Structure 1
Amino acid sequence: MSAIHHPSQLLDAAWVKQIRDNAAEAEALGMLHPKQLELVYQQQWFNMLVPEAYGGLQYSLPKLIETEEALSWADGSLGWVVTLCSGAGFFGGFIVPEVAKEIFADKKTCLAGSGADTGTATEHNNGFIINGNWKYASGVHHATHITINCRIVNAKGTPLTVDSAPIIRSFVLDKADVQLQSGWKYMGMVATGSDAYTIDNVYVDKNCSFEIKPEATVIDATIYKYPFLQLAEATLAANLSGLAVNFVDLCKDAFVFKATNVRRVSEANAALMMEERESAIILLNDARTAFYKAVNLSWEDIANENYLKDVSRASRMLARVARETVDGLYPYCGLLAASPDTELNRVWRDIHTASQHALLTFLE
C-alpha cells in the first residue's frame, strides 16, 4: 500500500462528528447546517486563502489541498462549499486594498460566485452598471459577497474587444445586490445550496473590479502568483479524492454486514469483496501520491510550466481514479448503497455529481 496519510489525520474527531451528525439535515435544508457553519467559522476555513494582511490564514497550496481533501472526506457538501468559497478568498490578492480591507474585516465573510462570463458591465461614470444571470454558485446562501465575471460593453451594448477577443473583468458585489433563484436540482452535493442568481442594473464602483492574473496581484505572496487554472483543478480533485477515500472506508462495514446477513454471500465472496477493497485502496493512494507530488513540485517552482502541466494531468487522473474506484466497489455494497438515507449513498451521489465539473472531465 502506498505510504500516504489518511485524510482523517488532519481533523479532530470531534469536528468530524459535528460535521457528519448534521449532514443529513443539511441535505434537507439544501445548504450547510448551522452547526456545520459554526465549525467553519470557528476554524476560519472560509479564510484559508484570504491574505494575512486582511486577517486571513493565507495557506500555502499544499496545506490548502490536504485540508480540503480532509473536509471532503468528512462530508462532500461541506468540503465543496469550503473549497469554492475559500477559493474566492484567493481574489483578495487582486482586489484593490481599500475594498478588500472592508470586505474581509468580518471573520465570517464568505465569497461565493460563478466563473461564467454570463453578465455584462456597461461603463458608467466612475464605474459600471451590471446585468446578468449566473448559475451554480456553491455556498451562495452563506455568502456575504458575490463574485462575477462580465463582458465589458459600451452604452449601446456592444462588447468591447482587444485583438478581437472580448474584454472580461471580474467584480465583487455585496450580497444585497443579488437576487437568488432556485437552480440546484441535482442528485448530489445537495447541501451545497449551489443556486443561481440574477443582477439587474446594479451600479458598482470601478474599484470593485479586478483581474485574476499574476501581474495584477496587490499582495506580494507566492499563492497569488500561482496560476488560477491549476489552483482550481487541484482543489476540485482534492474534493473527489476525499469523497472516494470516505466511500472506500464505508465499504468495510458494508461488506462485513453483507457477508454476515446475506445468505448467498459465501466465504469466498466475502474474501473477494475485501480483496477488491484493498486493491481499490492501493489504486487510489497511488493516484493521491502522484497528485501530491505534482502539487508540491509546482509549489516549489511555480514558474516551471512542466510542473504545472503535471498538476493538471495528475488532478484529472485522480478525479478519474476516484470515480472509477467508487464504481468498482459499488456493486458489492448491496441496497445500502442505493438507499438515499445512508451515508454510503450520499457519498456516491456526491462524487458522481462533483465529478461532472468540466475542469476534470478530460485527461488532456
Structure 2
Amino acid sequence: MLYTQQVIDAVRQHSLEMDKHRSIPKEVLDFIYDERLFHLFVPDELEGRMTDLPEAARVFQSCSRIDGNLGWMVTIGAGGGFFAALLEQGVSREIFGKRDAVIAGSGMPTGTARRVEGGYRVSGKWKYCSGSTYATTFTANAVIESENETAKASESAIAAEAQEIRAFAFQPEQIRILPDWNAFGLRATASHTMVAEDIFVPDNRTFLFHEMKSYEQEAIYRYPFLPFAQVSFAAVALGIAEHFLEAAEALANAKGSETYVMNKLKEHSGFLRDSEGNFYATVEDSWQELLQEGELSGEAEAAVTAASIRAVNTARACGQTLFPLLGLAAAMEDSEVNRCWRDLQTACSHSLLRSYS
C-alpha cells in the first residue's frame, strides 16, 4: 500500500512536533481513524476493515515510512483486533464497534488476579503500553492466585510455572497511567506503564489466548501470534529504514558528500530491497499455507521468524553503518535523519526481534 505524497506531507508536517512534545496531535489520530487503520484485523461487522497479513504488513511498512511513530501506533493498535475472536460477540461489539476503538496493553503477566463472584479482582503494573493516552480499552495478563495462600507458598517452581495466566479487558477509567516512556526514539507512542489496583473485571471481559469464542472463520485469527507479531514489527523496521535512507540521501546530496558515502547509501538501499523481497515472499507463502491447510507448520513458522529477523537486522544495519558517515548535521535532534535513526534503533530493540546468532 502506497500513500500519496500529499498524505505523506500532511502527516510529516507534525513529525517534529510529535517527537519534541512526545504526543500525537488530533490531526494524525483523525487520519488513523478515517482510514480505520486500528481496525485492520477487526471483522467487518464490527466497523473493521479485515485485512490479510501480507497486505497489513505493507500498510504497517507504508505508515512507518511516513513516520515511525505513526507506523508503531498503527501496528500496535491494529494488533489488538486479535482479541475480537477471544471474546463473546457482544463484548467484542462493545469494545471494537466504534470509530476510535483501540486497545493498549501488555502481554507480560506482571499482574495478579483472584477469583470473586462474577469475575476477578485484578492488580498489577504493566510497562510499555503503546497508545495509552488515547486507548478506549486496556488489556493485560495476570497470574490467577491460588485460593489457598498457604498451599501456594509451598508450591514447587514447576507448579508455579503451570499457574493459569488469564487476560483481562479494562475500562479506561479503571486504569492509572504512569507517564514514564522516556525512550530516545518513538517518543510520541505513549508507551507508558499502566497500573490496576484491585479492579473488578467481570467474567465476560476476561479471555484465554488459546480459546476462540467467535469469528472462527477469519483466517488471521488462526495465524500463530508470535510470527504474526514478528512480521508486524519487521514491517515497521523496514518502513522506518526506508525513510532513514531517503533522509540520509537528501542530507548527503545537500552536503555534497564523498563518493564513498554515496556508494554506501546505494549499497544499503540494495540490501534493504533484497531483504524486503525475501521477507514478503516468505510471509505470502505462510499465508497461502494457512489458507490451504488451516494452520501453519512448524517449518513455516520458523521460516517467517527467520525472514522477519533478517529484515530487522538489515534495517538496523542501514542506520548503524550510515549514520556515523553523515556528520554533525545528522547529530542534531531536530533533523529528519536523526529522528529516523532514533526511531529505527528503538523499534529494533523489541524483545521479539533480537537475534544472538
Provide TM-score, normalisation by structure 2.
0.93
Give the aligned partner of residue 41 of structure 2: 49
Q: In structure 2, what residue type is equivalent to 1:351?
A: L
Alignment partner of 1:66 is 2:66 = no
Give the aligned partner of residue 299 of structure 2: 306
Instruction: Structure 1 unaligned segments of length 5 or more: list them.
Output: 1-8, 260-264
**Distance apart, 1:354 and its partner CA:** 1.4
Task: Provide, for residues 181-215 of structure 1, a one-character-per-residue CA deviation record: whole Å limited to 9, x for no partner.
Answer: 021111111010111110001111111111223x5
Question: What is the aligned-residue RMSD (CA, Å)?
Answer: 1.8
**Distance apart, 1:154 and its partner CA:** 3.0
**Distance apart, 1:162 and its partner CA:** 7.2
Give the aligned partner of residue 88 of structure 1: 80
Q: Secondary structure at the match of 2:318?
A: helix
Residues 62 and 295, structure 1, Cα contact 8 Å, conserved in 2 = yes
Alignment partner of 1:22 is 2:14 = yes
Task: Provide, for residues 332-351 of structure 1, a one-character-per-residue CA deviation record: whole Å limited to 9, x for no partner.
Answer: 21122110011110011111
> Which deviates more, 277-286 or 50-59?
50-59
Cα distance in 1, alignment partners of residues 330 and 213 from structure 2: 46
Q: In structure 2, what residue type is equivalent to 1:23?
A: S
Q: Secondary structure at the match of 1:147?
A: strand
Residues 48 and 59, structure 1, Cα contact 8 Å, conserved in 2 = yes
Alignment partner of 1:286 is 2:274 = yes
Residues 248 and 277, structure 1, Cα contact 8 Å, conserved in 2 = yes
**Distance apart, 1:363 and its partner CA:** 5.7
Cα distance in 1, alignment partners of residues 326 and 163 from structure 2: 50
Cα distance in 1, alignment partners of residues 329 and 191 from structure 2: 27
Alignment partner of 1:108 is 2:108 = no
Q: Give 2:237's match in structure 1, choosing from 228, 236, 240.
A: 240
**Distance apart, 1:91 and its partner CA:** 1.1
**Distance apart, 1:163 and its partner CA:** 9.1
Alignment partner of 1:356 is 2:355 = no
Q: In structure 1, what residue type is equivalent to 2:22?
A: G
Cα distance in 1, alignment partners of residues 100 and 313 from structure 2: 34
Q: In structure 2, what residue type is equivalent to 1:53?
A: E
Give the aligned partner of residue 336 of structure 1: 329
Task: Provide, for residues 296-337 of structure 1, a one-character-per-residue CA deviation record: whole Å limited to 9, x for no partner.
Answer: 111111322212111100111111110111211112211221
Q: In structure 2, what residue type is equivalent to 1:344?
A: V
Cα distance in 1, alignment partners of residues 28 and 41 from structure 2: 20
Q: In structure 1, what residue type is equivalent to 2:317?
A: E
Residues 88 and 213, structure 2, Cα contact 8 Å, conserved in 1 = no
Residues 111 and 146, structure 1, Cα contact 8 Å, conserved in 2 = yes
Q: Give 2:135's match in structure 1, choosing from 132, 143, 146.
A: 143
Give the aligned partner of residue 177 of structure 1: 174
Q: Secondary structure at the match of 1:252?
A: helix
User: Across the two proteins, how many residue pairs are aligned to each other?
Assistant: 346
Q: Give 2:218's match in structure 1, choosing from 221, 233, 243.
A: 221
Q: In structure 2, what residue type is equivalent to 1:319?
A: V
Task: Provide, for residues 66-124 of structure 1, a one-character-per-residue CA deviation record: whole Å limited to 9, x for no partner.
Answer: 00011011000111011111111221121111111111221111111111100111110
Q: In structure 2, what residue type is equivalent to 1:29?
A: H
Instruction: Structure 2 unaligned segments of length 5 or more: list them.
Output: 291-295
Cα distance in 2, alignment partners of residues 240 and 126 from structure 1: 43
Cα distance in 1, alignment partners of residues 148 and 181 from structure 2: 34
Return closer, same or farther for 1:291/1:179 CA change in 2, 3 Å cut-off: same
**Distance apart, 1:164 and its partner CA:** 5.3
Cα distance in 1, alignment partners of residues 90 and 353 from structure 2: 36
Q: Secondary structure at the match of 1:199?
A: strand
Cα distance in 1, alignment partners of residues 213 and 305 from structure 2: 23
**Distance apart, 1:217 and its partner CA:** 4.8
Provide TM-score, normalisation by structure 1.
0.91
Residues 96 and 210, structure 1, Cα contact 8 Å, conserved in 2 = no
Q: In structure 2, what residue type is equivalent to 1:349?
A: R
Residues 316 and 363, structure 1, Cα contact 8 Å, conserved in 2 = no
Residues 69 and 79, structure 1, Cα contact 8 Å, conserved in 2 = yes
Cα distance in 2, alignment partners of residues 245 and 217 from structure 1: 39
Cα distance in 2, alignment partners of residues 281 and 30 from structure 1: 30
Give the aligned partner of residue 199 of structure 1: 196
Q: Secondary structure at the match of 2:76?
A: helix
Q: Secondary structure at the match of 2:232?
A: helix
Q: Secondary structure at the match of 2:183?
A: coil
Give the aligned partner of residue 206 of structure 2: 209
> Which deviates more, 157-166 or 313-322?
157-166
